[in-house]
Structure 1
Amino acid sequence: MTAGTALHHRIDGPDGAPVVVLGPSLGTDLHLFDAQVATLADRYRVVRYDLPGHGGTPVTDGPYTMAGLAEAVVALLDRLGIDRVHYAGVSIGGAIGQQLALDHPERVLSLTAIASAARFADPDSWPQRAAGVRENGTESMVASRPGVWYVQSFAGTEEAARLLGMLRATAAEGYAGCCEAISTFDVRERLADLRVPVLAIAGADDPATPPEMVREIADRAPDGRFEVVACSAHLLNTEKPVQVTGLLAEHIASVGAGRS
């Protein structure tokens, strides 16, 4: 995965407005953030991107690393002529944001990590998941997503079906490569070097990145804030869009006010 990889992206919102970059979760595409864009694009220039092998971004040569994925985001910003951004991401998208803020602090104004981690649980399990998806495709992951991506009461909704459609459409190699990037990601000892305001948001019922795991990001950052959203799991920005978008918008606005 090289910095020259062209990430498929979409831009919404007015020219010249402050830029917000949204990074998606494993097995989803940029439409994960449709609810957020509906609110944020009134005031911000919103850039969404697809991970390799997800949505409109083709599978690229591996191995994938979080540093390489962050460099691909930097390359996208360079192509778009964008200097500094507010960054928010879900799960691996939030990990990419942490890597970006650490490796390129001059490019990031604020960071929001949603259902993410500085080190994901069970690192040895991720290569095993990658091998399983390479053999059986992303369809093999669908049955395990209710209760992980969203609480059981959310299953059966149109939004849940839409999310599972994103997973089914994800290329096996892109999904597997991102699993391998997750397995080697660990920035716990670097978070004290973050120089931007950090908001970490957890789903109260998320088994993939439980609240205590998400809280570590805020606790280790010099300027960190932690929030929990009730009755939500891993893709809480779709389960509870009003609450998550409100927290994100408040965080971005507070940083903008402080740096005006």
Structure 2
Amino acid sequence: MPAVRLADGDLNYLLEGPAGAPVLVLSNSLGTDLHMWDVQMPALTRHFQVLRYDTRGHGQSLVTQGPYSVEQLGRDVLALLDALDIAKAHFCGLSMGGLIGQWLALNAPERIARLVLCNTAAKIGAPEVWNPRIDTVLAGGAQAMRDLRDASISRWFTAGFAAAQPHQVEPIVGMLAQTSPEGYAANCAAVRDADFREQLADIQSPTLIVCGSLDPVTTVEHGRFMQQRIEGAQLLEFHAAHLSNVEAGVAFTQALLDFLNQ
């Protein structure tokens, strides 16, 4: 796959779709990679140049010493846009990717056209949740990542979907088992430390907030909190757990297209 050389390593990406079409950036969740968006690609690439990338510490991108910050991850996106000569793009991020989207909309608003924040929050979890996970992963290495994979199925997907669609679930949770423990822990710290609750009102990009009605990680209430503070923000709720783009599938993709093509 192509990569952009950053100051400290390579950022892996894929750019697909018709040249000259508007650019849509897709940003992965914690513990996945750019292939978490595979189900969306056939429809999206009919309308957009879709830029997917592996967040630092994930997939085939660089793994540097942590902890990371969401600012650092956001600056990686800006470096990617600069390297590809993309002045402005739509941005869609899920969970950790949604935190990156909030940072970009607040700190580089001229680069973000429309913003989609999926299964995310202005603040996700508390240190007492993240710190033990960081310690466990750093101590347990690859085995700890495999253990996390099994524990994450119930957070990422509803029980019914996981039972009925194992061919969709297994490749996604397999990404977690293959994620670098060091990279995962460094990104856990970035999520732990991010807090945009007092800044949301400064977001000016037209914004769509997507929630899963059965998401145990970033709840519908988290979505409503953001909607109430981002002027004009729309909110959609799907019958899904944390990875609504996979579980809601076609409906998620259509809602994304409807919003971005307004």
Q: What TM-score do the two structures reach when normalised by structure 1?
A: 0.93
Deviation per CA, 1:27-83: give whole Å up to 9, x if none. 101000011111110110000010122111021133200011000000000001001
Report the CA distance shift for 1:203/1:3 in structure 2 as closer, same or farther (over 3 A). Answer: farther
| Alignment partners' CA distance in 1, 2:9 and 2:221 | 34
Query: Do the aligned partners of 2:65 and 2:186 also contact (CA within 8 Å) in 1?
Result: no
Tell me whether 1:186 sits opposite 2:195 in the alignment.
yes
Note the C-alpha offset of 1:170.
0.3
Instruction: List 4+ stretches of structure 1 deviating above 3 A.
Output: 2-6
Match of 1:103 in 2: 107
Deviation per CA, 1:70-125: give whole Å up to 9, x if none. 00000000001001000001100011001011000000001101100101122332
Match of 2:182 in 1: 173
Secondary structure, counterpart of 2:154 in structure 1:
coil
| Alignment partners' CA distance in 1, 2:64 and 2:80 | 15
Query: Do the aligned partners of 1:201 and 1:214 also contact (CA within 8 Å) in 2?
Result: yes
1:234 to 239, 242, 248: 242
Tell me whether 1:160 sits opposite 2:169 in the alignment.
yes
The Cα RMSD (Å) is 1.3
Identity of aligned residues (%): 39
Amino acid at match of 1:251: F
Q: What TM-score do the two structures reach when normalised by structure 2?
A: 0.93
| Alignment partners' CA distance in 1, 2:251 and 2:33 | 21
| Alignment partners' CA distance in 1, 2:43 and 2:224 | 26
Unaligned runs of 5+ in 1: 255-260
Q: Tell me the number of residue pairs that the alignment of Structure 1 and Structure 2 aligns.
A: 252
Unaligned runs of 5+ in 2: 1-5
| Alignment partners' CA distance in 2, 1:171 and 1:74 | 23
Tell me whether 1:144 sits opposite 2:151 in the alignment.
yes
Match of 1:252 in 2: 260
Amino acid at match of 1:101: A
Note the C-alpha offset of 1:3.
7.3
Note the C-alpha offset of 1:5.
5.2
Matches within 5 A, 1:190-201: 190-201=199-210
| Alignment partners' CA distance in 2, 1:3 and 1:93 | 22
| Alignment partners' CA distance in 1, 2:110 and 2:259 | 19
Note the C-alpha offset of 1:247.
1.2
Secondary structure, counterpart of 1:141 in structure 2:
helix
Note the C-alpha offset of 1:215.
2.0
